[in-house]
Homo-oligomer: A and B are copies of this chain.
Amino acid sequence: MAQAIPIRKNSPLKASCHECSLSNLCLPLAVEENDLERLEDIVQQGRIFNRGEHIFDQSTPFRSCFAVKSGSIKTSIITEGGEEQVTGFFMPGELVGLDSMSGETYACTAKALERTSVCEFPIEKLEELTGKMPELQHHMYHLMSQEIQNSHQLAMLLSKNTAEERIAALLLSLSSRFQRRRLSPTNFSLPMARNDIANFLGLAVETVSRVFTRFQNQGLIRARGREVELLDVEALQTVTREFSRQGCQ
């Protein structure tokens, strides 16, 4: 079943983790240079999806986690009634599918927001490997824990914060994720539509639109379509913290 290792390693189509520019963000982050090829042996690299295509589908058998290599991914849950709830956005270097590691099927649907390439980690092989590599296991725990925290953070945003606070928080989150990749933290292009933002943040599209223009009028951002420029990061941070400040009497 397993392909001969030399073939995979030498295949020009299979770019290696060694050469990947995201190796300081992705799973290789937790792996010694020497052990990197053990990770390379299980990863299936280079799958490419066009905008709108599904990487995986809720209720199909869970097989793999996916690392975003380029592009971006939206995950969402479809309820019985056909309503969509966006649960997350994933950018290069981030791992998708961690919420599916219980149960037989994927817990959500993952859709490419633009032309996107991913690396696939078959879950059985990944579990086998983490069993042998304590640092990689540790890193998996770390990532999953992080995702729990992110989700709690989102729940908090949804239950306690105003529309402005939610949107400021999202912009700043994206900003810092661009920064991690050594891209401009103040000048970027939103990978998702207003609709997705609204759904993710529990708002109506109209509200998202209004807040964008309000921020623009206040000189906090400049936005045309999906192109965004953060003009006053500090002010945005103040917006997100305003809520908790008020709580402090």
Is A238 engaged at the interface, CB distance under 8 Å to the other chain? Answer: no
A83 touches B244 (CB 8 A): yes
Rounded to whole angstroms, the CA-CA distance of A193 and B102 in the bound complex is 31
Copies in the complex: 2
A137 touches B130 (CB 8 A): yes
What B residues does A7 contact at CB under 8 A? none
A142-176 interface code vs B (CB 8 A; 1 in, 0 out): 11111111011011101110000000000000000
What B residues does A87 contact at CB under 8 A? 152, 155-156
A81 touches B243 (CB 8 A): yes
The distance from the CB of A126 to the nearest CB of chain B, in whole angstroms, is: 10
Contact status of A137 and B145, CB under 8 A, knowing A77-B156, A81-B248, A158-B202: no
A244 touches B81 (CB 8 A): yes
A81 touches B247 (CB 8 A): yes
What B residues does A245 contact at CB under 8 A? 80-81
Give the residues from 218 to 245 in chain A that come closer than 8 angstroms, CB to CB, to chain B: 241, 243-245
What B residues does A144 contact at CB under 8 A? 98, 101, 141, 144-145, 148
Give A244's nearest chain B residue, CB to CB: B81
Give A107's nearest chain B residue, CB to CB: B149
Is A52 engaged at the interface, CB distance under 8 Å to the other chain? Answer: no
Is A6 engaged at the interface, CB distance under 8 Å to the other chain? Answer: no
